[in-house]
Amino acid sequence: MNFIFVGFIFLIFVAQLIVWILIRRRNKKDYMRQIDLTLLYSILSLFCGIVCLSTRHKIIAEIAYNLSFFALDGIVLGLFSFTKKFAEYRKNMRIASGIYISMVVFDVAIIILNVFFKVLFTIDLKTISNNGFYWSVSFTPFIAYHFMLNLAAICFTVYMLILRIKKVPSFYKNRYRIFVYPYILAAILSYVSYAFDFYFNLAFICYGFLSYIFFHYNIYKADEIIRESTIKKVIKSYPIATCWFDKENNLVYKNNLAESFFTEKLKWSDVQIKLYYTRFMNKNFARNLDIAVSNQTFTIDDKERKYEVLYRKLFDENNFIGSYLNFRDITEETEKNKQNYILANYDSLTGIYNRERFFEVADDQIRNNPNIKWYMICTNIQGFRLINDLFGIETGDAVLKHQANYIKERAMENEVYGHIMDDKFAILMPAENYSRDFFKNDMLDIVKVSENNNYHIDYFVGIYESSDVIESAQYMYDKALMAIDNIPEGAADNVVYYNESIMHTYLDDRAVVSDFNYALSNNHFYMYLQPIFNEEKKLIGAEALTRWNKPGNGLMQPESFLYMFEKTGLIYKLDMYIWEKAAQKLQYWRTLGYSELFISINISINDIFYFDVYEYLCSLIEKYSINPKNIKLGIKESVLISDYGKGVSLFKIFKEKGFDIEIDDFGSRYCSLNVLKDVDADYLRINMHNLANISAEAEETEKIIIQSIVSLAQKLDMLVIGDNIETTEQFEFLKKVGCYLYQGHYFSKALQDKAFDQMYLK
């Protein structure tokens, strides 16, 4: 009965192994084929054990024993192959694997020979009490090869595992350590069974059990153990302080950060933590919620820090088993969000609304108060970029801050204001709040940008009044800005209201700008020359001017388009075009024998900003082989306003190259005495139209002023050019006071270059 019982146990093992093989197909690990091999050989080994225990037929028993030795080779080979892949020794084990497989093949050959020649072992039937029996095995010396081969394979397999255990982090050591002991135990029991001639061979059970361990561990336990270990370590080192509570609200676990947070920073005991947990749930009604979040403030090291506290219930198959609290420090995040909000909505320089936020709030104000008549006010400083260049960015920033503070201090509660861009500010206010005094008095302080009072700032204000229809703030601002753009240079009033005529002017101006590039590339711009004479009315040179022969419009005068090109920055392209035309004309005159004639060209602020004026003019001199003295550089005072600054240095270089410098429109807008001192100019151009209308009835004081300017220029070795001379009286007066050159309609209007040649170069 004992043998029947053992056989029944073996049958259960075999059935379970077969079931495992079927289940294993769902597992996709690449070393499962090796486990399959081990399981199949284990089934064969167990089957052979059953046969040996149940048969008295010697031939059948001998076959079963030989198959069991063959199965043992297969089991050990499967274990070796599995361990090689499991321990990741695939690439550097090819030679060893090849040798081992060859030795296994040789051992299998010996086992086959044993069936016929008994070279390994013989068996004899032994009887025991109660009609029992077993087969006794007698080994020959050749069995040593079989035993040593499998023993060496087991030892080498254990060696691979030990090496792997040493290499991997401690977290993964148990993954490999679990196989070492069953290997050793199975080997010992197997050889004890052979040595003491047990009734049945324990190797059948040992290696079958070992196969079971491999399969069960890899199918069910390996990932589970790794996963549980990982979860424990993750929870322990979780980067957020976390406390777990059971369903009775008892604290059961704190991770590392929670331990540090409560014990070291807050000095709380577990009882205090539980009390806080209870209060938190009662305050946030968390008992009725699966998740609750609240921002809490804790005092740590005498400083308040903000934490986001997250409560969450835990369930197991829909049964409540506990909960946890997360404490996430959001102090820096809150401060960063605050800063991001400020950066997103407020101008970093002035501290008032930026463009986006201004229009957003202004739109809300308009939408929420549809019955109010609104004024959109736009302010602008003309030539603000020049302030930065001449006096420094800090001075420019100070101007903007002053303006922002002025607006902020005087704005009422229902008004919205913001810094739109550069030097432009906007204010939305009810029309009834508006007063022109808002832009007087203290607002005029912005013109004092530096200790150098030579520079005068033009400060403009555009106003748009809302209509009966609700309009967007952006639309209203664009109209107010359009009104500013319509203020003519030198206007007495710096405040202008938008009207429909401004829109028509704006559209006309945009059409002018849009046609510029086409006109330039098709030579629609003509160079006109206004002759310059000496006191004997002899031609000395000419000033280069511009006319636009626009298809459909005819010949356009410069005042109808130049201001738009200056405003948009396109003027530098036109200047470069005219300068080259002037250089070509000088080259042509030289071929005709008029090499002493000169042409005056005008340099604007935009030219200096947009390209290297010096390099370009030098390239024209070289390209057309002309004398620098034949090109006079007309410089408006606005280009030169600085204390020995960029403008003075630049024109000093021009002088060294051989160019003559003209100070253009002297006295037209600025106090110019420092300009005369700072710039080593050759010519001083007096604009008779701007300074005075000299006639027989002119005031004596006007004549004294002009005479003084001419006298001062002569003492500074400068030649004076009288510009815009219209009458004989003006000419005679200028000649009397010592003016050197003369220009104006009194002598000749500006002529197209070809007409100029025909009239004066016969």
| Interhelix angle 384-391/393-410, nearest 10 degrees | 130
Are 599 and 541 in contact, with CB atoms under 8 Å apart?
A: yes
For the chain, state the CA radius of gyration: 51
Q: How far apart are CA 73 and CA 77, in angstroms?
A: 6
Burial of 139 per CB tally in 10 Å (0-12, 13-18, 19+): middle
Helix (H) or strand (E) holding 409, with range, is helix 393-410
Are 736 and 703 in contact, with CB atoms under 8 Å apart?
A: no
Q: How far apart are CA 467 and CA 481, in angstroms?
A: 17
Which residues contact residue 504 at a Cβ distance below 8 angstroms, ignoring those fewer than 6 apart?
none
Q: How far apart are CA 257 and CA 237, in angstroms?
A: 7
List C-alpha distances in Å: 754 to 288, 529, 539, 585, 623.
96, 9, 16, 10, 22
From the list 739, 670, 677, 743, the residue with the least C-alpha distance to 709 is 739
Backbone angles phi, psi at 756, to 5 degrees: -60, -45
Residue 751's pLDDT is: 94
- Tell me the three state secondary structure of residue 134: strand
Are 116 and 138 in contact, with CB atoms under 8 Å apart?
A: no
**Residues in the chain, pLDDT under 50:** 1-2, 286, 441-442, 444, 450, 642-644, 671, 691-692, 694
- Label the pairing between strands 132-139 and 121-128: antiparallel
Backbone angles phi, psi at 303, to 5 degrees: -125, 140
CA 156 from centroid of its chain's CA atoms: 56
Beta carbons within 10 angstroms of residue 3's beta carbon: 18
**Model's pTM, two decimal places?**
0.50
Q: How far apart are CA 739 and CA 534, in angstroms?
A: 9
308-359 pLDDT tens trace: 999 988 888 788 888 889 999 999 988 888 888 888 899 989 999 999 999 9
HEC profile for 102-155?
HHHHHHHHHHHHHHHHCCCEEEEEEEECCCEEEEEEEECCCHHHHHHHHHHHHH
Residue 509's pLDDT is: 78
From the list 760, 729, 731, 755, the residue with the least C-alpha distance to 743 is 731
- Label the pairing between strands 683-687 and 121-128: unpaired
Residue 625's pLDDT is: 94
Residue 167's pLDDT is: 83
What one-character-per-residue DSSP string does 221-263 give? Answer: IHHHHHHHHHHHHHHHT-SSEEEEEETT--EEEE-HHHHIIII
* The token pair that represents 508 in the structure block: 């006309």
Q: How far apart are CA 327 and CA 263, in angstroms?
A: 14
Residue 627's pLDDT is: 95
List C-alpha distances in Å: 489 to 383, 494, 578.
12, 10, 23
541-600 pLDDT tens trace: 999 999 999 888 889 998 888 888 887 888 999 999 999 999 999 999 999 999 999 999
Are 187 and 80 in contact, with CB atoms under 8 Å apart?
A: no
Residue 671's pLDDT is: 46
Half-sphere exposure of 435 (CA within 13 A, CB side): 9
Residue 617's pLDDT is: 94
The DSSP 8-state label assigned to residue 34 in this structure reads H
